[in-house]
Amino acid sequence: MSEYDLVIIGAGPAGLTAGLYAARARMNVLLIEKAVPGGQILVTDWIENYPGFPEGISGYDLAEKIKEQALTLGLNIETAEVQGLDLSGTIKEVIFKEKRIKTKSLIIASGASPKRPGIGEEKFMGKGVSFCATCDGPFFRDKVVVAVGGGDTAIQESIFLTKFAKKVYVVHRRDELRATKILQERAFANDKIEFLWDSVVTGMDGFFGVEKVHVKNLKTGNESQIEANGCFIWIGILPNTEFIKGDVKTDESGFIVVDTKMQTNVPGVFAIGDVRDTPLRQIATAVGDGAVAAVSAEHYIENL
Protein backbone atom coordinates (compact mmCIF):
# COMPACT_ATOMS: atom_id res chain seq x y z
CA MET A 1 0.00 0.00 0.00
CA SER A 2 1.41 3.38 -1.06
CA GLU A 3 2.19 5.91 1.67
CA TYR A 4 2.55 9.65 1.19
CA ASP A 5 3.42 12.66 3.30
CA LEU A 6 0.35 14.41 1.93
CA VAL A 7 -2.65 13.53 -0.19
CA ILE A 8 -4.83 16.29 -1.63
CA ILE A 9 -8.38 15.52 -2.80
CA GLY A 10 -9.54 17.93 -5.50
CA ALA A 11 -7.68 19.89 -8.18
CA GLY A 12 -9.39 23.24 -8.26
CA PRO A 13 -7.38 26.42 -7.56
CA ALA A 14 -7.17 25.55 -3.85
CA GLY A 15 -5.98 21.98 -4.37
CA LEU A 16 -3.55 22.89 -7.14
CA THR A 17 -2.02 25.65 -5.02
CA ALA A 18 -1.65 23.32 -2.04
CA GLY A 19 0.00 20.79 -4.35
CA LEU A 20 2.29 23.43 -5.80
CA TYR A 21 3.46 24.51 -2.34
CA ALA A 22 3.87 20.93 -1.14
CA ALA A 23 5.81 19.83 -4.21
CA ARG A 24 8.07 22.86 -3.95
CA ALA A 25 8.74 21.92 -0.30
CA ARG A 26 9.85 18.48 -1.56
CA MET A 27 7.03 16.66 0.21
CA ASN A 28 5.94 13.28 -1.10
CA VAL A 29 2.54 14.53 -2.27
CA LEU A 30 -0.25 13.14 -4.44
CA LEU A 31 -3.10 15.21 -5.84
CA ILE A 32 -6.27 13.28 -6.71
CA GLU A 33 -8.93 14.62 -9.09
CA LYS A 34 -11.95 12.66 -10.28
CA ALA A 35 -12.46 14.79 -13.38
CA VAL A 36 -10.23 17.44 -14.99
CA PRO A 37 -7.83 19.66 -13.00
CA GLY A 38 -9.16 23.19 -12.68
CA GLY A 39 -12.45 22.79 -10.86
CA GLN A 40 -15.26 25.32 -11.28
CA ILE A 41 -13.06 27.93 -12.94
CA LEU A 42 -12.90 25.74 -16.04
CA VAL A 43 -16.48 26.78 -16.78
CA THR A 44 -15.97 30.45 -15.90
CA ASP A 45 -15.97 32.56 -19.03
CA TRP A 46 -13.86 35.51 -17.91
CA ILE A 47 -12.08 36.44 -14.67
CA GLU A 48 -11.37 40.11 -13.97
CA ASN A 49 -10.55 40.17 -10.27
CA TYR A 50 -7.58 37.78 -10.00
CA PRO A 51 -4.39 39.75 -9.27
CA GLY A 52 -1.79 39.97 -11.99
CA PHE A 53 -4.15 39.92 -14.99
CA PRO A 54 -5.34 43.51 -15.46
CA GLU A 55 -7.00 42.70 -18.78
CA GLY A 56 -8.67 39.60 -17.34
CA ILE A 57 -8.18 35.94 -18.22
CA SER A 58 -10.44 33.04 -19.11
CA GLY A 59 -11.09 30.47 -16.41
CA TYR A 60 -9.66 27.72 -18.59
CA ASP A 61 -6.42 29.60 -19.24
CA LEU A 62 -5.92 30.44 -15.56
CA ALA A 63 -6.51 26.82 -14.56
CA GLU A 64 -3.99 25.65 -17.15
CA LYS A 65 -1.36 28.12 -15.92
CA ILE A 66 -1.74 27.00 -12.30
CA LYS A 67 -1.68 23.33 -13.28
CA GLU A 68 1.40 23.67 -15.49
CA GLN A 69 3.27 25.53 -12.76
CA ALA A 70 2.43 22.79 -10.26
CA LEU A 71 3.52 20.06 -12.68
CA THR A 72 6.78 21.89 -13.37
CA LEU A 73 7.52 21.82 -9.65
CA GLY A 74 7.01 18.05 -9.60
CA LEU A 75 3.42 17.61 -8.44
CA ASN A 76 1.97 14.17 -9.17
CA ILE A 77 -1.69 14.29 -10.27
CA GLU A 78 -3.82 11.16 -10.60
CA THR A 79 -7.35 10.75 -11.91
CA ALA A 80 -9.50 8.73 -9.51
CA GLU A 81 -12.66 9.04 -7.43
CA VAL A 82 -12.42 8.80 -3.65
CA GLN A 83 -15.01 6.49 -2.10
CA GLY A 84 -14.25 7.07 1.57
CA LEU A 85 -11.74 7.90 4.26
CA ASP A 86 -10.32 6.22 7.34
CA LEU A 87 -9.11 8.95 9.68
CA SER A 88 -9.03 6.88 12.87
CA GLY A 89 -5.25 6.53 13.14
CA THR A 90 -2.22 8.76 12.95
CA ILE A 91 -1.72 7.47 9.42
CA LYS A 92 -4.81 8.24 7.36
CA GLU A 93 -6.23 6.09 4.58
CA VAL A 94 -7.90 7.26 1.38
CA ILE A 95 -10.24 4.61 0.01
CA PHE A 96 -10.88 4.00 -3.68
CA LYS A 97 -12.98 1.36 -5.41
CA GLU A 98 -10.07 -1.04 -5.87
CA LYS A 99 -7.33 0.20 -3.54
CA ARG A 100 -6.34 2.23 -0.51
CA ILE A 101 -3.45 4.62 0.00
CA LYS A 102 -1.88 5.79 3.25
CA THR A 103 -0.88 9.32 4.09
CA LYS A 104 0.48 11.22 7.06
CA SER A 105 -1.70 14.23 6.29
CA LEU A 106 -4.70 15.00 4.13
CA ILE A 107 -6.10 18.12 2.48
CA ILE A 108 -9.73 18.06 1.35
CA ALA A 109 -10.26 20.42 -1.57
CA SER A 110 -13.23 18.73 -3.20
CA GLY A 111 -15.14 21.94 -3.89
CA ALA A 112 -18.87 22.42 -4.22
CA SER A 113 -21.61 21.87 -6.80
CA PRO A 114 -24.70 23.86 -7.81
CA LYS A 115 -27.86 23.42 -5.77
CA ARG A 116 -30.79 21.73 -7.46
CA PRO A 117 -34.07 23.56 -6.77
CA GLY A 118 -36.36 20.55 -7.28
CA ILE A 119 -38.67 22.18 -9.83
CA GLY A 120 -38.64 19.37 -12.36
CA GLU A 121 -35.21 20.24 -13.70
CA GLU A 122 -34.02 16.63 -13.70
CA LYS A 123 -36.38 15.79 -16.57
CA PHE A 124 -34.80 18.50 -18.72
CA MET A 125 -31.12 18.08 -17.90
CA GLY A 126 -29.32 18.37 -21.22
CA LYS A 127 -32.63 19.37 -22.82
CA GLY A 128 -32.72 23.02 -21.88
CA VAL A 129 -31.73 23.03 -18.20
CA SER A 130 -28.15 23.98 -17.43
CA PHE A 131 -25.93 25.16 -14.59
CA CYS A 132 -23.18 26.45 -16.89
CA ALA A 133 -23.58 29.27 -19.40
CA THR A 134 -20.02 28.88 -20.66
CA CYS A 135 -20.68 25.22 -21.43
CA ASP A 136 -24.13 25.51 -22.97
CA GLY A 137 -24.69 29.14 -23.94
CA PRO A 138 -23.82 28.61 -27.63
CA PHE A 139 -26.72 26.13 -27.93
CA PHE A 140 -29.17 28.98 -27.31
CA ARG A 141 -28.22 31.30 -30.13
CA ASP A 142 -31.13 33.64 -30.96
CA LYS A 143 -33.34 31.90 -28.38
CA VAL A 144 -35.08 33.00 -25.17
CA VAL A 145 -33.73 31.74 -21.85
CA VAL A 146 -34.54 32.13 -18.17
CA ALA A 147 -31.79 32.62 -15.59
CA VAL A 148 -32.47 31.96 -11.90
CA GLY A 149 -30.49 33.74 -9.17
CA GLY A 150 -29.14 37.11 -8.11
CA GLY A 151 -25.57 36.56 -6.96
CA ASP A 152 -22.28 37.14 -8.76
CA THR A 153 -22.38 33.88 -10.68
CA ALA A 154 -25.98 34.30 -11.80
CA ILE A 155 -25.46 37.84 -13.08
CA GLN A 156 -22.07 37.25 -14.66
CA GLU A 157 -23.37 34.17 -16.45
CA SER A 158 -26.56 35.97 -17.51
CA ILE A 159 -24.48 38.69 -19.10
CA PHE A 160 -22.47 36.02 -20.91
CA LEU A 161 -25.68 34.43 -22.19
CA THR A 162 -26.58 37.66 -23.99
CA LYS A 163 -23.74 36.91 -26.41
CA PHE A 164 -25.99 34.19 -27.81
CA ALA A 165 -29.58 34.47 -26.60
CA LYS A 166 -31.88 37.16 -27.95
CA LYS A 167 -33.54 37.55 -24.53
CA VAL A 168 -32.57 36.63 -20.96
CA TYR A 169 -35.15 36.79 -18.17
CA VAL A 170 -33.45 36.94 -14.77
CA VAL A 171 -35.76 35.60 -12.05
CA HIS A 172 -34.76 36.64 -8.53
CA ARG A 173 -36.66 36.00 -5.32
CA ARG A 174 -35.75 39.40 -3.84
CA ASP A 175 -36.22 42.97 -5.03
CA GLU A 176 -32.51 43.66 -5.37
CA LEU A 177 -29.45 41.74 -6.50
CA ARG A 178 -26.70 40.34 -4.30
CA ALA A 179 -24.10 40.58 -7.08
CA THR A 180 -21.29 43.12 -6.92
CA LYS A 181 -22.10 46.63 -8.10
CA ILE A 182 -20.02 46.46 -11.27
CA LEU A 183 -21.88 43.34 -12.41
CA GLN A 184 -25.21 44.93 -11.55
CA GLU A 185 -24.34 48.01 -13.60
CA ARG A 186 -23.48 45.89 -16.62
CA ALA A 187 -26.63 43.80 -16.30
CA PHE A 188 -28.93 46.82 -15.91
CA ALA A 189 -27.33 48.42 -18.96
CA ASN A 190 -27.85 45.32 -21.11
CA ASP A 191 -31.05 45.67 -23.14
CA LYS A 192 -31.25 41.90 -23.65
CA ILE A 193 -31.77 41.31 -19.92
CA GLU A 194 -35.14 41.71 -18.20
CA PHE A 195 -35.52 41.25 -14.43
CA LEU A 196 -38.46 39.55 -12.76
CA TRP A 197 -38.22 40.64 -9.12
CA ASP A 198 -39.66 38.95 -6.02
CA SER A 199 -40.23 35.83 -8.10
CA VAL A 200 -39.31 32.16 -8.26
CA VAL A 201 -39.44 29.49 -10.93
CA THR A 202 -41.96 26.82 -9.92
CA GLY A 203 -41.65 24.43 -12.84
CA MET A 204 -41.15 23.96 -16.56
CA ASP A 205 -42.88 22.20 -19.43
CA GLY A 206 -41.94 20.87 -22.82
CA PHE A 207 -42.09 17.84 -25.07
CA PHE A 208 -38.55 17.23 -26.30
CA GLY A 209 -37.04 20.03 -24.22
CA VAL A 210 -37.87 23.15 -22.25
CA GLU A 211 -40.62 25.17 -23.92
CA LYS A 212 -42.26 27.04 -21.03
CA VAL A 213 -41.00 28.16 -17.63
CA HIS A 214 -43.51 28.79 -14.82
CA VAL A 215 -42.86 31.82 -12.61
CA LYS A 216 -44.61 32.92 -9.41
CA ASN A 217 -44.45 36.37 -7.85
CA LEU A 218 -43.93 35.90 -4.11
CA LYS A 219 -45.55 39.23 -3.16
CA THR A 220 -48.68 39.11 -5.31
CA GLY A 221 -49.04 35.36 -5.73
CA ASN A 222 -49.55 35.84 -9.46
CA GLU A 223 -48.32 33.03 -11.68
CA SER A 224 -47.19 33.37 -15.28
CA GLN A 225 -45.50 31.42 -18.03
CA ILE A 226 -42.51 32.41 -20.09
CA GLU A 227 -42.06 30.84 -23.48
CA ALA A 228 -38.39 29.95 -23.31
CA ASN A 229 -35.99 27.39 -24.72
CA GLY A 230 -33.74 27.11 -21.70
CA CYS A 231 -33.44 27.60 -17.95
CA PHE A 232 -30.08 28.32 -16.32
CA ILE A 233 -30.00 27.87 -12.54
CA TRP A 234 -27.60 29.57 -10.11
CA ILE A 235 -29.11 29.53 -6.61
CA GLY A 236 -26.13 28.54 -4.51
CA ILE A 237 -23.86 25.59 -3.91
CA LEU A 238 -23.56 22.42 -1.83
CA PRO A 239 -20.23 20.98 -0.65
CA ASN A 240 -18.86 17.88 -2.38
CA THR A 241 -18.49 15.84 0.79
CA GLU A 242 -20.28 12.59 -0.07
CA PHE A 243 -17.13 10.55 0.60
CA ILE A 244 -16.51 12.07 4.04
CA LYS A 245 -19.52 10.52 5.79
CA GLY A 246 -19.21 12.33 9.10
CA ASP A 247 -15.44 11.90 9.45
CA VAL A 248 -14.87 15.62 10.12
CA LYS A 249 -16.94 18.38 11.69
CA THR A 250 -19.21 20.35 9.36
CA ASP A 251 -21.58 23.28 9.76
CA GLU A 252 -25.37 23.09 9.33
CA SER A 253 -25.00 23.32 5.55
CA GLY A 254 -22.40 20.56 5.34
CA PHE A 255 -19.34 22.75 4.77
CA ILE A 256 -16.23 21.63 6.66
CA VAL A 257 -15.31 23.66 9.75
CA VAL A 258 -11.63 24.68 10.01
CA ASP A 259 -9.43 27.02 12.03
CA THR A 260 -7.08 29.72 10.73
CA LYS A 261 -4.54 27.05 9.76
CA MET A 262 -7.19 25.23 7.69
CA GLN A 263 -7.09 22.43 10.29
CA THR A 264 -10.27 20.40 10.82
CA ASN A 265 -11.21 18.80 14.13
CA VAL A 266 -9.14 15.77 13.07
CA PRO A 267 -5.37 16.30 13.52
CA GLY A 268 -3.53 16.17 10.23
CA VAL A 269 -6.67 16.72 8.15
CA PHE A 270 -7.20 20.09 6.49
CA ALA A 271 -9.94 21.56 4.29
CA ILE A 272 -9.68 24.39 1.77
CA GLY A 273 -11.58 26.24 -0.92
CA ASP A 274 -15.30 26.01 -1.56
CA VAL A 275 -15.74 22.86 0.53
CA ARG A 276 -14.96 24.68 3.79
CA ASP A 277 -16.99 27.19 5.76
CA THR A 278 -15.78 30.55 4.51
CA PRO A 279 -17.25 34.05 4.16
CA LEU A 280 -15.97 34.40 0.59
CA ARG A 281 -15.65 31.86 -2.21
CA GLN A 282 -13.31 33.33 -4.79
CA ILE A 283 -10.24 32.09 -6.66
CA ALA A 284 -8.03 34.44 -4.66
CA THR A 285 -9.27 33.09 -1.33
CA ALA A 286 -9.04 29.48 -2.54
CA VAL A 287 -5.42 30.00 -3.54
CA GLY A 288 -4.71 31.51 -0.13
CA ASP A 289 -6.35 28.54 1.58
CA GLY A 290 -4.15 26.18 -0.42
CA ALA A 291 -0.93 27.92 0.58
CA VAL A 292 -1.89 27.98 4.27
CA ALA A 293 -2.95 24.33 4.32
CA ALA A 294 0.19 23.06 2.60
CA VAL A 295 2.45 24.85 5.06
CA SER A 296 0.26 23.70 7.97
CA ALA A 297 0.47 20.10 6.75
CA GLU A 298 4.26 20.38 6.46
CA HIS A 299 4.53 21.63 10.06
CA TYR A 300 2.15 18.89 11.23
CA ILE A 301 4.31 16.17 9.67
CA GLU A 302 7.49 17.63 11.16
CA ASN A 303 5.97 17.28 14.63
CA LEU A 304 4.74 13.68 14.27
Catalytic residues: 132, 135-136
The residue among 192, 250, 213, 20 whose CA lies nearest residue 124 is: 213
Tell me how far apart the alpha carbons of residues 301 and 193 are, in angstroms, rounded to a whole number. 53
CB 80 within 8 A of CB 32: yes
Q: Are 229 and 213 within 8 A, CB to CB?
A: no
- What 3-state DSSP class applies to 229? coil
Compute the distance between CA of residue 91 and CA of residue 88 in angstroms, rounded to an integer: 8
Closest Cα to residue 272, out of 254, 292, 300, 252? 292
Helix (H, G, I), strand (E, B) or coil at 116: coil
Identify any residues that bridge with 153 across adjacent strands, giving them in sequence order.
none
Task: Give dist(CA 287, CA 291) in Å, integer.
Answer: 6
How far is residue 131's CA from residue 77's CA, in Å, rounded to a whole number? 27
